[in-house]
Amino acid sequence: MTNGVVIVGAGHAGVQAAASLREEGYEGPVVLVGDEKELPYHKPPLSKTFIKDAEAKPQPLRGEAFYTGNTIDYRPGVRIEGIDAGARRLDVAGGGKLAFDRLILATGSRPRLLKLDGTDLAGVVSLRSLADARAIRELSAQTEDVVILGGGFIGLEIAATLRAAGRNVMVIEAVDRLLGRAVAPIIAAHVRQRLEAIGVRILTGATVAHLEGDNGRVSAAITSSGERLPAQMVIIGIGVVPNVELAEAAGLAVGNGIRVDQHMLSSIPEILAIGDAASYRHWFTGGDVRLESVQNATDQARLAARTVLGHAEPFSAVPWFWSDIGDMKLQMVGLTQGGDHHVVLGEPAENKFSIYHYAGNRLLGIESVNRPGDHMLGRKMLAAGFSPPPQTVAGGPDALKAALAAFQDMEPAKASA
């Protein structure tokens, strides 16, 4: 009798792993355990639309029939609290054991906490789950002033969304620019300018000293320079930390995420890890990364399923990400750290432009604002291993498409990549 594959975590990665196991022909038991009570849902809409629309419904990743129809034993509201790797058994919170032949850890990440006086007041929240989004939506209905701590993607998405819903929004970012090192300074400055144009107030190079309360509810954020910012809701959006504790306690190698190899195998080969929780050496840069994106979660899940089925191809997906901040669709492809020059296509003034990042002659990646065609072409170029010379980029999308086609004619093997 086989115990099959148990997947811990029913988010983007876990659900895709279950689906891919069946698509790849796995016939043993597949158990998908998640500690949330919901049908697994899409996270990206939570910060973009859900929190401003009282009527918005969660968007399930798959309908209920998907789980029953594919004999996927989905167990909602179940938390795993221990792994006995030797015995291949999990401890279920509240009692009980769950045996596995192979285990896939897809435990995701959670908001980073901020150690500050007042963070325990009612009205201080962060956004990761549907439950968090529901809480923010309810609070928002009774809120005029919102302070968001952290000027990263999620903080800024929420800022634009709540501003569109008529709230007074203040973003406080500790470093001197928005979006950390995730995007080029020109994009960060553009995002700031457009958010300010719709009335979002932004303080960079500023921190909050403590939060003030009134009858147990937050009433203001006090900056380190003593400014008092009224707030009936404070949203902490200072990044996430990977959920690695289960893996660590079981003796798996961990370092900014559960360490996996190019097949998604952890240091104990019966156990794989994927998604926000996993860190690995990236084929594209040769550096260690832990990526937080839907693409990374789902592509790793597909590969993990193939690994379980005995295939041995390495992870080679092109990394990409998107974020909708107000009227800006930001799309990133590739990994652009280490770039030494760039080419700009399009016009920031028209809110449509792309930055092509290079290290020497190698195209590292493209960041686009409202230029989805550049993004899609970038995905094709990087998947094909094609680095157009910067002067070809300057010739515009048609020149790039022609150059890619010529490259693929010369390199047919890569063309099918």
Ligand X SMILES: Cc1cc2nc3c(=O)[nH]c(=O)nc-3n(C[C@H](O)[C@H](O)[C@H](O)COP(=O)(O)OP(=O)(O)OC[C@H]3O[C@@H](n4cnc5c(N)ncnc54)[C@H](O)[C@@H]3O)c2cc1C
Contacting residues toward ligand X, per CB under 6 A: 8-14, 33-36, 43-44, 46-47, 79-80, 106-108, 127-128, 154, 243, 246, 275-277, 292-295, 297, 321-323
Which residue's CB is nearer to ligand X, number 43 or number 192? 43
Percent helix, percent strand, percent coil in the chain, to nearest 5: 30, 30, 40
Query: Shortest distance, CB of residue 361 to ligand X, whole angstroms?
Result: 29
Q: Residue with CB nearest ligand X?
A: 11
Paired tokens of 51: 């929190």
CB of 405 to ligand X, least distance (A): 29
Q: Which is nearer to ligand X, 324 or 374 (CB)?
A: 324
Give kind and range of the element (H or E) at residue 46: helix 44-48
Beta carbon nearer to ligand X, 203 or 301: 301
Nearest to 61 by CA among 137, 127, 10: 10
Q: Which is nearer to ligand X, 184 or 297 (CB)?
A: 297
3-class secondary structure, 410 = helix
Closest contact distance (angstroms) between CB of 128 and ligand X is 5
Q: What is the distance between the alpha carbons of residues 235 and 119, in angstroms, rounded to a whole number?
A: 10
Nearer to ligand X, 10 or 303 (CB): 10
Q: Which CB, 81 or 288, lies closer to ligand X?
A: 81
Q: Smallest Cα–Cα separation from 388: which of 416, 362, 411?
A: 362
- Give backbone dihedrals phi and psi of 365, rounded to 5 degrees, phi first: 170, 170
**Which two structure tokens, joined as six digits, stand for 39?**
């049908």
Residue 383, burial from CB neighbour count under 10 angstroms (0-12, 13-18, 19+): middle
Which of helix, strand or coil describes residue 84?
Answer: strand
If the CB atoms of residues 161 and 408 are measured against ligand X, the closer one turns out to be 161
Distance CA 137, CA 50 (A): 8
Residue 329: CB minimum distance to ligand X, A: 10
Instruction: Please report how close the Cβ of residue 137 comes to ligand X at its closest, in angstroms.
Output: 12
Nearby residues of 393 by Cβ (< 8 Å), 6 or more positions away = 343, 345, 356, 399, 400
What is the C-alpha end-to-end distance of the chain, expressed in Å?
39
Give the CA distances from residue 297 to residues 35, 87, 108, in Å, rounded to whole numbers and listed in that order.
18, 28, 9
In the bound state with ligand X, the residue whose beta carbon lies nearer, of 272 and 393, is 272
Q: How far is the CB of 195 from ligand X (least distance, A)?
A: 17
Q: How far is the CB of 416 from ligand X (least distance, A)?
A: 26
Shortest distance in whole angstroms from residue 318 CB to ligand X:
13
Give 284 or 321: the residue with its C-beta nearer to ligand X. Answer: 321
Distance CA 407, CA 14 (A): 37
In eight-state DSSP terms, residue 276 is G
CB closer to ligand X out of 220 and 332: 332
Supply the Cα-derived Rg of the chain in whole angstroms. Answer: 23
Shortest spacing between CB 12 and ligand X, in angstroms: 4
Q: Which of 233, 239, 232, 158 is CA-nearest to residue 200?
A: 158
Question: Which residues neighbour 324 within 8 Å (Cβ) at sequence distance 6 or greater?
Answer: 48, 157, 330
Write down the least CB distance from residue 215 to ligand X, Å.
29
Cβ pair 289, 182 in contact under 8 A: no
Both structure tokens of 19: 């689906």
